[in-house]
Amino acid sequence: MFDNLSDKLQRVIKNLRGEGKLTAENMEAALREIRVALLEADVHFRVVKQLMESIKEKALGQEVLTSLSPTQQVVKIVYDELVRTLGTHASRLRMANEPPSVIFIVGLQGSGKTTSTGKLARYLSREKHNPLVVSVDVYRPAARHQLAVLARDLKLPIYAGPEGENRPLELARGARREAMQTGKDVVLVDTAGRLHIDDDLMVELQQLKESLNPTEILFVADAMTGQDAIRSAEEFHKRLGITGVVLTKMDGDARGGAALSIRQVTGQPLKFVGVGEKPDAFELFYPDRVASRILGMGDVISLVEKVSQEIDQKKTEEMQRKLLEDDFSLDDFRDQLKQLSKLGSLESLLGMMPKVGPFKELQNAKVDEKELTRVVAIIDSMTPHERRNHMIINGSRRRRIAKGSGTTVQDVNNLLKQYAQARKMMKSFSGSLMGGKMGTMLGKRLGKLKLPFPGNPFS
């Protein structure tokens, strides 16, 4: 489905190529196609309507970057608008002032609640929290057992309740009590799912909410179910007041519409994305990444970057800020490498930066895809915390990361070395950006930088 939407947008964009300027007329045709594409990708019609209006307004209004071609303008405007609709920033979990924080995991049957409960508990314990999980799904015979097995495998503490206890409210309260007694700061409550929203379930959830006063009610939406997920999100929100969304099964050929629409229809932020059945296949929701995915970017971004000699001001500023604030994380490193492979040459990447002339000798530096995949796997196996603080990655973390990414500790060591070199290089790079001295010095430094390329084309 993502492919479908992205294919369509690409076609629209191609059609716009060769047009001199964006006019009401030529935009009209393009907008119509974008509209159909979004609808077909299961974006809710109300959301499409709003999106189209703001896209049109921006395209014809002052915000258009006059230095870009019409093609680039449309891509950029649609992309920006998607990011804006999705929420601009990754949204963190709210925690109670006084622990334990209680988090409900709710949603339709089979959406991925239990799996996500395990994933979230694991995520939280890596973020230095101390979670306790409990299942209050007393209806499906194997449900509590399923969470118990998951908790055992992941070595997570679980509250099982006294023998024979099968009242959801008692189980949840018991878990909170145990959390207080044993110093757990978060209680994750895995709730029962139904095929359809029914009153019994809603009443039960409302009672649970009243009694436990959760800091978060996370609605788990199966991205594969399109409009159904949107409708039930809306209904859950109306009756229960959800505070965030976990979008699961984004590893499949999930539809782009769900993410956009749920955000728009409930007004609540997407917080996490499930990208597989494994416990680690769980990520913070980054609006820009999902917008890229919806648009089939990488591709679209690289299209803009490739065709354009112009500088994307925002990106440049962001990059400069990161360089100056020493905030260039392993996430950024990975994104840069991915970007690099999409662009096909380091020169295009440097082209994004101001005051950097063309480096002819770098033009044909190609990334080794296999190496890149390995690097990405290693970084993906790190926790978000580790990616931001590489200094904490000690021996045992390295072993875990190697295991998680199917590589060796040696590979992880190498990557961290490369990253450290890149940071160093970029730091002096940013220093010279400020000082205005550029060029040969950077070229020399790049020559020393060992990136995951065969035979290091920079040396």
Ligand X SMILES: Nc1nc2c(ncn2[C@@H]2O[C@H](COP(=O)(O)OP(=O)(O)OP(=O)(O)O)[C@@H](O)[C@H]2O)c(=O)[nH]1
Query: Which residues in this chain contact Mg ion in the complex, by CB under 5 A?
Result: 113-114
d(CA 256, CA 287): 12
In the list ligand X, Mg ion, none, the entry touching 161 (Cβ below 5 to 8 angstroms by class) is none
d(CA 79, CA 309): 19
Give the distance from CA 103 to its chain's centroid.
Answer: 21
Q: Does 232 bind ligand X (CB under 6 A)?
A: no
- The interaxial angle of helices 70-86 and 287-294, nearest 10 deg, is 130
**x-marked contacts with ligand X along 186-205 as a string, rule CB under 6 A:** -------x------------
Dig out the tokens for 258 from the structure. Answer: 């769900």
17 phi, psi to nearest 5 deg: -60, 140
Q: Does 111 bind ligand X (CB under 6 A)?
A: yes
DSSP code for 94: P
For residue 232, the minimal CB distance to ligand X (Å) is 12
Closer by beta carbon to Mg ion, 108 or else 291:
108
Q: Does 276 bind ligand X (CB under 6 A)?
A: yes
Q: Does 168 bind ligand X (CB under 6 A)?
A: no
d(CA 340, CA 156): 39
For residue 87, the minimal CB distance to ligand X (Å) is 20
Site for ligand X in 79-108 (CB under 6 A): 107
Q: For residue 106, give the 3-state DSSP assignment.
A: strand
Tokens 């973020």 -> residue? 127
Q: Does 109 bind ligand X (CB under 6 A)?
A: yes
In the list Mg ion, ligand X, none, the entry touching 277 (Cβ below 5 to 8 angstroms by class) is ligand X
In the list Mg ion, ligand X, none, the entry touching 64 (Cβ below 5 to 8 angstroms by class) is none
d(CA 278, CA 396): 21
From the list 169, 178, 285, the residue with the least C-alpha distance to 223 is: 285
Closer by beta carbon to Mg ion, 113 or else 119:
113
Site for ligand X in 355-414 (CB under 6 A): none
Question: Of these, 71, 248, 308, 430, which contacts ligand X (CB under 6 A)?
Answer: 248
Residue 42 vs residues 1, 257, 444: alpha-carbon distances, Å: 9, 5, 50
| Residues near ligand X (CB under 6 A), total | 21
Sign, Cα dihedral of 363, 364, 370, 371: negative
For residue 105, the minimal CB distance to ligand X (Å) is 8
For residue 319, the minimal CB distance to Mg ion (Å) is 42
Which residues of this protein are in contact with ligand X, per CB under 6 A? Answer: 107, 109-115, 137, 140, 143, 193, 248-249, 251-252, 274-277, 281
